[in-house]
Amino acid sequence: MTQIDQVDQSTPASPSRFQANLAQRYRADQIFQTAALLSVLIALFVLIMLLGDVFITGFPRFIQDFPSFLLSYPSRRAAQAGILSPLVGTIWLLILTGLFAIPTGVGAGIFLEEFAANTRLARLIEINIGNLAAVPSIIYGLLALQVFVRWMEPITGGRSVLAGGLTLALLILPIIIVATREALRSVPNSIRQAGFAVGTTRWQVVRDHVLPIALPGILTGTILALSRAIGETAPLITIGALTFIAFLPPLSPIIEGLRSPFTALPIQTYNWISRPQPEFQNNAAAAIVMLLIVLLLMNATAIYLRNRTQKIRND
Protein backbone atom coordinates (compact mmCIF):
# COMPACT_ATOMS: atom_id res chain seq x y z
CA MET A 1 0.00 0.00 0.00
CA THR A 2 1.38 3.37 -1.00
CA GLN A 3 1.74 6.38 1.25
CA ILE A 4 -1.13 8.17 -0.57
CA ASP A 5 -3.48 5.28 0.18
CA GLN A 6 -2.45 5.41 3.82
CA VAL A 7 -3.25 9.15 3.98
CA ASP A 8 -6.62 8.65 2.28
CA GLN A 9 -7.57 5.87 4.72
CA SER A 10 -6.69 8.00 7.80
CA THR A 11 -9.76 8.96 9.76
CA PRO A 12 -10.24 12.72 10.31
CA ALA A 13 -10.81 14.12 13.77
CA SER A 14 -14.44 14.18 14.78
CA PRO A 15 -16.15 17.60 15.11
CA SER A 16 -17.09 16.90 18.72
CA ARG A 17 -13.44 16.26 19.67
CA PHE A 18 -12.32 19.43 17.88
CA GLN A 19 -14.96 21.49 19.68
CA ALA A 20 -13.92 19.98 23.02
CA ASN A 21 -10.28 20.92 22.41
CA LEU A 22 -11.32 24.41 21.33
CA ALA A 23 -13.44 24.88 24.45
CA GLN A 24 -10.55 23.69 26.60
CA ARG A 25 -8.18 26.20 24.99
CA TYR A 26 -10.68 29.02 25.51
CA ARG A 27 -11.03 27.97 29.14
CA ALA A 28 -7.27 28.03 29.64
CA ASP A 29 -7.09 31.43 27.95
CA GLN A 30 -9.75 32.84 30.27
CA ILE A 31 -7.94 31.44 33.33
CA PHE A 32 -4.70 33.06 32.19
CA GLN A 33 -6.42 36.42 31.55
CA THR A 34 -8.05 36.29 34.98
CA ALA A 35 -4.73 35.47 36.67
CA ALA A 36 -2.95 38.30 34.81
CA LEU A 37 -5.70 40.79 35.68
CA LEU A 38 -5.60 39.67 39.32
CA SER A 39 -1.82 40.17 39.42
CA VAL A 40 -2.16 43.71 38.03
CA LEU A 41 -4.90 44.56 40.54
CA ILE A 42 -2.82 43.24 43.45
CA ALA A 43 0.21 45.25 42.32
CA LEU A 44 -1.89 48.40 41.93
CA PHE A 45 -3.48 47.85 45.33
CA VAL A 46 -0.09 47.54 47.03
CA LEU A 47 1.21 50.60 45.18
CA ILE A 48 -1.85 52.67 46.11
CA MET A 49 -1.56 51.59 49.76
CA LEU A 50 2.11 52.56 49.89
CA LEU A 51 1.58 55.90 48.17
CA GLY A 52 -1.47 56.62 50.31
CA ASP A 53 0.48 55.95 53.51
CA VAL A 54 3.35 58.17 52.33
CA PHE A 55 1.08 61.06 51.35
CA ILE A 56 -1.05 60.84 54.48
CA THR A 57 2.06 60.89 56.66
CA GLY A 58 4.29 63.31 54.76
CA PHE A 59 2.08 65.63 52.73
CA PRO A 60 0.88 67.70 55.76
CA ARG A 61 4.51 68.23 56.80
CA PHE A 62 5.44 69.08 53.21
CA ILE A 63 2.62 71.62 52.80
CA GLN A 64 2.72 73.10 56.29
CA ASP A 65 6.38 74.12 56.07
CA PHE A 66 6.71 74.17 52.28
CA PRO A 67 9.26 76.95 51.78
CA SER A 68 11.27 76.30 54.92
CA PHE A 69 11.29 72.51 54.47
CA LEU A 70 12.93 72.88 51.06
CA LEU A 71 15.27 75.71 52.06
CA SER A 72 16.43 74.38 55.44
CA TYR A 73 19.39 72.13 56.13
CA PRO A 74 19.05 68.78 57.92
CA SER A 75 18.94 69.16 61.68
CA ARG A 76 18.84 67.00 64.77
CA ARG A 77 15.64 68.81 65.68
CA ALA A 78 12.78 67.42 63.63
CA ALA A 79 10.78 70.65 63.52
CA GLN A 80 13.74 72.58 62.06
CA ALA A 81 15.00 69.90 59.68
CA GLY A 82 14.85 70.37 55.92
CA ILE A 83 16.06 68.78 52.72
CA LEU A 84 18.08 71.56 51.06
CA SER A 85 21.44 69.80 50.91
CA PRO A 86 19.96 66.34 50.10
CA LEU A 87 17.87 67.86 47.31
CA VAL A 88 20.84 69.71 45.84
CA GLY A 89 22.97 66.58 46.19
CA THR A 90 20.34 64.54 44.33
CA ILE A 91 20.19 67.09 41.52
CA TRP A 92 23.98 67.08 41.17
CA LEU A 93 24.04 63.30 41.17
CA LEU A 94 21.46 63.24 38.36
CA ILE A 95 23.44 65.80 36.34
CA LEU A 96 26.72 63.92 36.73
CA THR A 97 25.08 60.55 36.10
CA GLY A 98 23.51 61.85 32.90
CA LEU A 99 26.75 63.44 31.71
CA PHE A 100 28.71 60.23 32.21
CA ALA A 101 26.13 57.56 31.31
CA ILE A 102 24.04 58.97 28.45
CA PRO A 103 26.78 59.67 25.86
CA THR A 104 28.66 56.49 26.74
CA GLY A 105 25.59 54.25 26.81
CA VAL A 106 23.96 55.62 23.66
CA GLY A 107 27.28 55.57 21.79
CA ALA A 108 27.99 51.99 22.85
CA GLY A 109 24.49 50.91 21.86
CA ILE A 110 24.81 52.51 18.41
CA PHE A 111 28.20 50.91 17.83
CA LEU A 112 27.14 47.43 18.93
CA GLU A 113 23.91 47.50 16.93
CA GLU A 114 24.94 49.32 13.75
CA PHE A 115 28.70 48.98 13.30
CA ALA A 116 30.04 45.96 15.20
CA ALA A 117 30.41 42.75 13.23
CA ASN A 118 28.56 39.63 14.35
CA THR A 119 31.62 37.99 15.87
CA ARG A 120 32.05 35.81 18.91
CA LEU A 121 33.46 38.75 20.86
CA ALA A 122 30.44 40.92 20.00
CA ARG A 123 28.05 38.17 21.11
CA LEU A 124 30.01 37.73 24.35
CA ILE A 125 29.82 41.47 25.05
CA GLU A 126 26.07 41.44 24.36
CA ILE A 127 25.51 38.60 26.81
CA ASN A 128 27.59 40.31 29.49
CA ILE A 129 25.73 43.60 29.07
CA GLY A 130 22.43 41.81 29.53
CA ASN A 131 23.77 40.13 32.67
CA LEU A 132 25.15 43.40 34.08
CA ALA A 133 21.70 44.98 33.83
CA ALA A 134 20.46 42.44 36.41
CA VAL A 135 23.35 42.73 38.87
CA PRO A 136 22.28 44.01 42.34
CA SER A 137 23.17 47.62 42.97
CA ILE A 138 25.22 46.79 46.07
CA ILE A 139 27.75 45.05 43.80
CA TYR A 140 28.26 48.28 41.88
CA GLY A 141 28.71 50.05 45.20
CA LEU A 142 31.47 47.65 46.25
CA LEU A 143 33.18 48.02 42.87
CA ALA A 144 32.94 51.82 43.06
CA LEU A 145 34.32 51.81 46.60
CA GLN A 146 37.51 50.19 45.36
CA VAL A 147 37.85 51.96 42.00
CA PHE A 148 36.36 55.46 42.37
CA VAL A 149 36.92 56.03 46.10
CA ARG A 150 40.29 54.36 46.69
CA TRP A 151 42.15 53.98 43.41
CA MET A 152 40.92 57.26 41.87
CA GLU A 153 41.00 59.30 45.08
CA PRO A 154 43.43 61.89 43.64
CA ILE A 155 40.85 62.63 40.92
CA THR A 156 37.51 62.10 42.63
CA GLY A 157 38.46 63.22 46.12
CA GLY A 158 37.41 59.92 47.68
CA ARG A 159 33.89 59.83 49.11
CA SER A 160 32.65 62.72 46.98
CA VAL A 161 29.70 63.69 44.82
CA LEU A 162 31.85 62.95 41.75
CA ALA A 163 32.39 59.37 42.94
CA GLY A 164 28.65 59.07 43.55
CA GLY A 165 27.84 60.26 40.03
CA LEU A 166 30.32 57.81 38.52
CA THR A 167 28.84 55.00 40.62
CA LEU A 168 25.28 55.66 39.48
CA ALA A 169 26.45 56.10 35.88
CA LEU A 170 28.08 52.68 36.04
CA LEU A 171 24.86 51.27 37.50
CA ILE A 172 22.55 52.45 34.72
CA LEU A 173 24.99 52.12 31.82
CA PRO A 174 23.86 48.57 30.84
CA ILE A 175 20.21 49.68 30.94
CA ILE A 176 20.87 52.58 28.56
CA ILE A 177 22.82 50.33 26.19
CA VAL A 178 20.04 47.74 26.08
CA ALA A 179 17.35 50.42 25.60
CA THR A 180 19.34 52.04 22.79
CA ARG A 181 19.82 48.76 20.97
CA GLU A 182 16.16 47.85 21.27
CA ALA A 183 15.14 51.26 19.91
CA LEU A 184 17.52 50.88 16.96
CA ARG A 185 16.20 47.38 16.23
CA SER A 186 12.69 48.77 15.93
CA VAL A 187 13.74 50.83 12.89
CA PRO A 188 12.87 48.95 9.64
CA ASN A 189 15.84 47.74 7.59
CA SER A 190 14.25 49.21 4.49
CA ILE A 191 15.25 52.68 5.71
CA ARG A 192 18.88 51.61 5.96
CA GLN A 193 18.78 49.95 2.56
CA ALA A 194 17.22 53.05 0.98
CA GLY A 195 20.04 55.16 2.39
CA PHE A 196 22.70 52.78 1.11
CA ALA A 197 21.02 52.73 -2.32
CA VAL A 198 21.63 56.45 -2.85
CA GLY A 199 25.30 56.16 -1.95
CA THR A 200 25.41 57.36 1.66
CA THR A 201 27.81 55.90 4.18
CA ARG A 202 26.72 53.82 7.15
CA TRP A 203 27.37 56.69 9.58
CA GLN A 204 25.27 59.07 7.45
CA VAL A 205 22.42 56.56 7.38
CA VAL A 206 22.56 56.13 11.16
CA ARG A 207 22.90 59.86 11.86
CA ASP A 208 20.30 61.20 9.44
CA HIS A 209 17.73 58.40 9.24
CA VAL A 210 18.00 55.66 11.86
CA LEU A 211 18.84 57.73 14.95
CA PRO A 212 16.03 60.31 14.55
CA ILE A 213 13.45 57.51 14.28
CA ALA A 214 14.88 55.63 17.28
CA LEU A 215 15.33 58.78 19.39
CA PRO A 216 11.94 58.59 21.22
CA GLY A 217 12.67 55.06 22.40
CA ILE A 218 16.21 56.03 23.43
CA LEU A 219 14.93 58.99 25.42
CA THR A 220 12.33 56.87 27.18
CA GLY A 221 14.86 54.22 28.15
CA THR A 222 17.34 56.85 29.31
CA ILE A 223 14.85 58.65 31.55
CA LEU A 224 13.71 55.34 33.04
CA ALA A 225 17.33 54.49 33.80
CA LEU A 226 17.83 57.86 35.49
CA SER A 227 14.62 57.27 37.43
CA ARG A 228 16.16 54.10 38.82
CA ALA A 229 19.35 55.94 39.73
CA ILE A 230 17.50 58.64 41.64
CA GLY A 231 16.12 56.15 44.16
CA GLU A 232 19.25 54.08 44.77
CA THR A 233 20.54 54.00 48.33
CA ALA A 234 22.75 50.92 48.74
CA PRO A 235 25.61 51.95 46.41
CA LEU A 236 25.70 55.47 47.86
CA ILE A 237 25.90 54.11 51.41
CA THR A 238 28.65 51.72 50.30
CA ILE A 239 30.87 54.48 48.93
CA GLY A 240 30.33 56.52 52.08
CA ALA A 241 27.61 59.09 51.42
CA LEU A 242 26.95 61.06 54.58
CA THR A 243 23.66 60.75 56.43
CA PHE A 244 24.00 64.30 57.73
CA ILE A 245 25.51 67.23 55.88
CA ALA A 246 25.07 70.95 56.43
CA PHE A 247 26.44 72.48 53.22
CA LEU A 248 25.63 72.46 49.55
CA PRO A 249 27.67 70.33 47.18
CA PRO A 250 29.32 71.37 45.02
CA LEU A 251 30.88 74.41 46.58
CA SER A 252 32.79 77.11 44.75
CA PRO A 253 34.99 76.54 42.81
CA ILE A 254 33.10 73.88 40.90
CA ILE A 255 35.95 71.36 40.63
CA GLU A 256 36.64 71.41 44.35
CA GLY A 257 32.91 71.25 45.02
CA LEU A 258 32.55 68.08 43.00
CA ARG A 259 35.24 66.51 45.19
CA SER A 260 33.39 67.39 48.40
CA PRO A 261 31.25 65.06 50.58
CA PHE A 262 27.58 64.80 49.70
CA THR A 263 24.23 63.39 50.67
CA ALA A 264 21.03 62.64 48.73
CA LEU A 265 17.32 62.33 49.33
CA PRO A 266 17.34 58.50 49.67
CA ILE A 267 20.21 58.73 52.16
CA GLN A 268 18.46 61.40 54.23
CA THR A 269 15.21 59.44 54.11
CA TYR A 270 17.04 56.35 55.35
CA ASN A 271 18.51 58.39 58.21
CA TRP A 272 15.16 59.83 59.28
CA ILE A 273 13.19 56.60 58.94
CA SER A 274 15.64 54.83 61.26
CA ARG A 275 14.86 57.24 64.10
CA PRO A 276 12.08 56.29 66.56
CA GLN A 277 10.56 59.78 66.90
CA PRO A 278 7.31 60.25 64.94
CA GLU A 279 8.42 63.73 63.82
CA PHE A 280 11.36 62.26 61.93
CA GLN A 281 9.04 59.67 60.38
CA ASN A 282 6.94 62.55 59.04
CA ASN A 283 10.08 64.22 57.69
CA ALA A 284 11.04 60.99 55.93
CA ALA A 285 7.62 60.74 54.33
CA ALA A 286 7.81 64.38 53.22
CA ALA A 287 11.24 63.70 51.67
CA ILE A 288 9.73 60.75 49.78
CA VAL A 289 7.00 63.08 48.49
CA MET A 290 9.68 65.43 47.17
CA LEU A 291 11.52 62.51 45.60
CA LEU A 292 8.30 61.44 43.86
CA ILE A 293 7.81 64.98 42.57
CA VAL A 294 11.30 64.97 41.05
CA LEU A 295 10.61 61.55 39.53
CA LEU A 296 7.31 62.72 38.03
CA LEU A 297 9.02 65.79 36.58
CA MET A 298 11.63 63.57 34.95
CA ASN A 299 8.97 61.28 33.47
CA ALA A 300 6.96 64.28 32.24
CA THR A 301 10.11 65.59 30.56
CA ALA A 302 10.64 62.22 28.89
CA ILE A 303 7.07 62.17 27.60
CA TYR A 304 7.36 65.75 26.30
CA LEU A 305 10.64 65.07 24.50
CA ARG A 306 9.33 61.83 23.04
CA ASN A 307 6.15 63.45 21.73
CA ARG A 308 8.12 66.41 20.37
CA THR A 309 10.59 64.22 18.49
CA GLN A 310 7.76 62.12 17.08
CA LYS A 311 5.94 65.27 15.93
CA ILE A 312 9.08 66.62 14.25
CA ARG A 313 9.65 63.27 12.55
CA ASN A 314 6.07 63.09 11.28
CA ASP A 315 6.25 66.66 9.96
Q: Is residue 9, in this structure, part of any structural domain at all?
A: no
Query: Are 54 and 167 found together in one domain?
Result: no
Q: Report the C-alpha gap between 20 and 14 in whole angstroms.
A: 10
Q: Give the model's confidence band at 303: pLDDT under 50 very low, under 70 low, under 90 confident, else very high.
A: confident
pLDDT at 29 over 80: yes
Q: Is residue 72, in this structure, part of any structural domain at all?
A: no
Summarize pLDDT for 126-160 with one digit per residue, the tens: 888 888 888 888 899 999 999 999 999 888 888 88
Query: Are 37 and 93 found together in one domain?
Result: no
Domain count, the chain: 2
Residue 4: predicted pLDDT: 46
Q: Is residue 31, in this structure, part of any structural domain at all?
A: yes
Summarize pLDDT for 65-107 with one digit per residue, the tens: 777 888 888 888 888 888 888 888 888 898 899 999 999 999 9
Q: Is residue 162, in this structure, part of any structural domain at all?
A: yes
Least confident of 1-5, 115-119, 131-135, 280-284: 1-5
pLDDT at 173 over 70: yes
Query: Are 40 and 172 found together in one domain?
Result: no
Which range of 150-159, 171-180, 295-304 scores highest in mean pLDDT? It is 171-180
Query: Are 159 and 209 found together in one domain?
Result: yes
pLDDT at 282 over 70: yes
Give me the CATH number covering residue 167: 1.10.3720.10
Query: Are 150 and 118 found together in one domain?
Result: yes
Please count the other Cβ atoms lying within 10 Å of the Cβ belonging to residue 228: 13
Q: Is residue 70, in this structure, part of any structural domain at all?
A: no
- Residue 167, class by beta-carbon neighbours within 10 Å (0-12 exposed, 13-18 middle, 19+ buried)? buried
Residue 234: predicted pLDDT: 86
Report the chain's terminal Cα–Cα distance, integer Å. Answer: 68
Summarize pLDDT for 230-251 with one digit per residue, the tens: 888 889 888 877 766 656 666 5
Nearest CA among 277, 244, 285 for reference residue 62: 285
pLDDT at 58 over 80: yes
Runs of H (alpha helix) within 74-210: 84-110, 120-132, 137-144, 153-156, 161-185, 189-197, 202-205
Q: Is residue 74, in this structure, part of any structural domain at all?
A: no
pLDDT at 257 over 90: no
Query: Are 172 and 103 found together in one domain?
Result: yes
Q: Is residue 238, in this structure, part of any structural domain at all?
A: yes
Q: Which domain holds residue 59?
A: 14-64
Query: Are 60 and 203 found together in one domain?
Result: no
Query: Are 89 and 53 found together in one domain?
Result: no
Query: Are 174 and 275 found together in one domain?
Result: yes
Q: Is residue 265, in this structure, part of any structural domain at all?
A: yes
Query: Are 47 and 85 found together in one domain?
Result: no
Q: Give the model's confidence band at 37: pLDDT under 50 very low, under 70 low, under 90 confident, else very high.
A: very high
Calculate the alpha carbon distances from 260 to 116, 142, 263 in Å. Answer: 40, 20, 10
